[in-house]
């Protein structure tokens, strides 16, 4: 293969100064200079991913970046100015031989000099000088590829299994609640029909019936107010017990049988003895007990319908969160509200957060950001799940959103024991984990880093001390014309 125009002879002494060649003999270095050459390159593309792998390059001076194609994006794997780094047809010695293509794109970022060797010569020197090493590397390359695929698949299955188990549990609870409420409601409706028959044959004239209907509407309205937006919180256990005792005393004083069965219903609707005094004044003494029981039945029926509504709303919310989480039916990248993604993830992980206080410190005024929703949900999942595991069922998870300059920032903070200082800088490395053997693959944060930095051209950092660990995700509001940072 002929050298390109402008190629320059190489210097044995310069090659010897590189860590890659420092152990070679003078004869081997002469061979490299005979078969290779030096090239000067201005900023631009040195070689492109998918092109035939014809040259092995070693950086002598300058600065380069390595990029990989992921979907429709070219994302940067690394950038460096370290002398001796290499790229290009570095795997030409493998059995694929001359049919190989460049696995990535190398871009020159500043005027640079390279030692260049044809791929066929590189394959020759590897197989002649290091035959045993070549066999070992071939086996390593094959095994590493299979291992990477298996571990990635396991990581996805573990995440899917955890989310599926949580979602199944969360859906089962409201479904069971709705079933119980419906069964109880059927009994109450049957009881109401029986009481209607008693009213029709009892001492209730038209005026009394009108009063009864009016009192029923007042009671139901009072119950509805307890559920209205902005309503005060329900009474505490002691306060509620006192209110039930007061109502039980009132009912007992007015000869209403089994008063303890009715008191809780009226307390839930925030109806007190003073309101029941008004009821006693509105109806004749002989129908007071029947009136009170009718009102209690009406309240119980309304409460059961509320329970069914709450359960079905919860189911609908979970299904909506699952759809938002998976981004079913959504464009892969679009303008979106990051808070919707965060809320969907927290809903999906609700079971994992049992016992943990979740604080949403959102800035709801933030404008939408152009992003890949499904991938970001994977990031939130990894960060929140790691925080939950660190706190082990007790602590505070704080999710904060804010805008800093042209960046949208999402901070996930926990009050766990923290990451040891000697390993905190390694948490984004593939396969590195601080979890016990069998509890993690060490790919969660690596995947999160690749999605944030590579897919979205953002930034992901961590700082940690005992009781305060914070992962900060930064997403750019302005999309770069060309990707400038790392892989997805």
**Does 321 score more than 60 pLDDT?**
no
Query: What are 188-201's pLDDT values in tens digits?
Result: 777 666 666 666 66
Cα–Cα distance measured from residue 128 to residue 131, given in angstroms and rounded to the nearest whole number? 6
Residue 477 predicted with pLDDT over 50: yes
Bigger pLDDT: 232 vs 83: 83
Read off the pLDDT of each residue in 50-66 and give the average, rounded to a whole number.
92
Least confident of 85-99, 202-216, 411-425: 85-99
> How does strand 356-361 pair with strand 395-404?
parallel
Which of residues 309 and 412 earns the better pLDDT score?
412
Q: What is the mean pLDDT of residues 242-263?
A: 89
**Domains within the chain, CATH numbers bracketed:** 12-129 (2.60.120.10), 165-317 (no CATH), 333-476 (3.30.565.10)
Phi-psi map region of 438: left, alpha, beta (phi>0 left; psi -120 to 50 alpha)? left
The better pLDDT of the pair 47, 372 is held by 47
Does pLDDT of 179 surpass 50?
Answer: yes
Query: pTM of this prediction?
Result: 0.45
User: Please, what is the angle between helix 373-391 and helix 131-201, to 10°?
Assistant: 80
What average pLDDT score do residues 228-252 get? 87
What does the pLDDT look like over 354-403, one tens digit per residue? 899 999 999 999 999 988 887 888 889 889 988 998 998 899 999 999 99
Q: Which residue has the tokens 């303008």?
A: 335
Q: Mean pLDDT throughout 234-254?
A: 89
Mean pLDDT for the chain?
80
Average pLDDT of the segment spanning 304-327: 69
Task: Give burial (CB, 10 Å; 0-12/13-18/19+) of 9.
Answer: exposed
């Amino acid at each position: 293969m002929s050298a390109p125009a402008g190629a320059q002879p190489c210097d044995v002494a310069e090659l010897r100064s590189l860590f890659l060649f420092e152990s070679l003999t003078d004869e081997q270095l002469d061979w490299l200079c005979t078969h290779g050459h030096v090239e000067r390159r201005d900023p631009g593309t040195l070689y492109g991913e998918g092109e035939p792998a014809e040259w092995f390059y070693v950086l002598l001076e300058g600065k380069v970046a390595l990029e990989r194609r992921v979907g429709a994006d070219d994302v940067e794997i690394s950038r460096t100015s370290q002398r001796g780094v290499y790229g290009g047809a570095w795997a030409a010695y493998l059995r694929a031989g001359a049919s190989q293509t460049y696995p990535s794109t190398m871009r020159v970022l500043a005027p640079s000099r390279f030692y260049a060797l044809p791929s066929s010569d590189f394959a020759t020197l590897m197989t002649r000088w290091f035959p045993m090493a070549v066999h070992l590397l071939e086996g390593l390359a094959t095994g590493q590829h299979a291992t990477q695929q298996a571990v990635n698949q396991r990581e996805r299955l573990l995440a899917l299994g955890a989310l599926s188990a949580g979602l199944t549990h969360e859906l089962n609870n409201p479904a069971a609640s709705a079933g119980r409420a419906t069964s109880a409601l059927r009994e109450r409706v049957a009881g109401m029909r029986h009481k209607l028959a008693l009213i029709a044959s009892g001492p209730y004239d038209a005026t009394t019936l009108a009063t009864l209907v009016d009192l029923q509407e007042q009671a139901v309205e009072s119950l509805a107010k307890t559920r209205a937006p902005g309503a005060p919180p329900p009474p505490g256990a002691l306060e509620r017990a006192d209110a039930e005792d007061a109502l039980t005393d009132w009912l007992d004083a007015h000869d209403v049988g089994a008063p303890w069965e009715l008191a809780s219903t009226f307390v839930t609707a925030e109806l007190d003895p003073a309101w029941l005094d008004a009821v006693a004044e509105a109806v004749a003494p002989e129908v007071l007990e029947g009136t009170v029981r009718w009102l209690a039945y009406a309240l119980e029926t309304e409460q059961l319908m509320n329970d069914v509504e709450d359960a079905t709303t919860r189911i609908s919310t979970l299904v909506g969160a699952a759809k938002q989480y998976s981004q079913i039916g959504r464009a892969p990248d679009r303008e979106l509200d990051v808070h919707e993604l965060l809320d969907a993830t927290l809903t999906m992980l609700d079971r994992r957060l049992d016992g943990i206080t979740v604080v949403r410190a959102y800035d709801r005024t933030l404008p939408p950001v152009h992003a890949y929703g499904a991938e970001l949900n994977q990031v939130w999942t990894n960060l929140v799940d790691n925080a939950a595991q660190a706190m082990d069922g007790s602590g505070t998870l704080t999710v904060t959103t804010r805008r800093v300059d042209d960046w949208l920032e999402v901070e996930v903070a926990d009050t766990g024991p923290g990451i040891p200082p000697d390993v905190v800088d390694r948490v984004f490395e593939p396969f590195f984990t601080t979890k016990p053997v069998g509890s993690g693959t060490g790919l969660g944060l690596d995947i999160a880093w690749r999605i944030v930095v590579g897919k979205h051209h953002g930034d992901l950092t961590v700082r940690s001390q005992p009781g305060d660990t914070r992962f900060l995700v930064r997403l750019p509001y302005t999309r770069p014309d060309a990707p400038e940072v790392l892989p997805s």
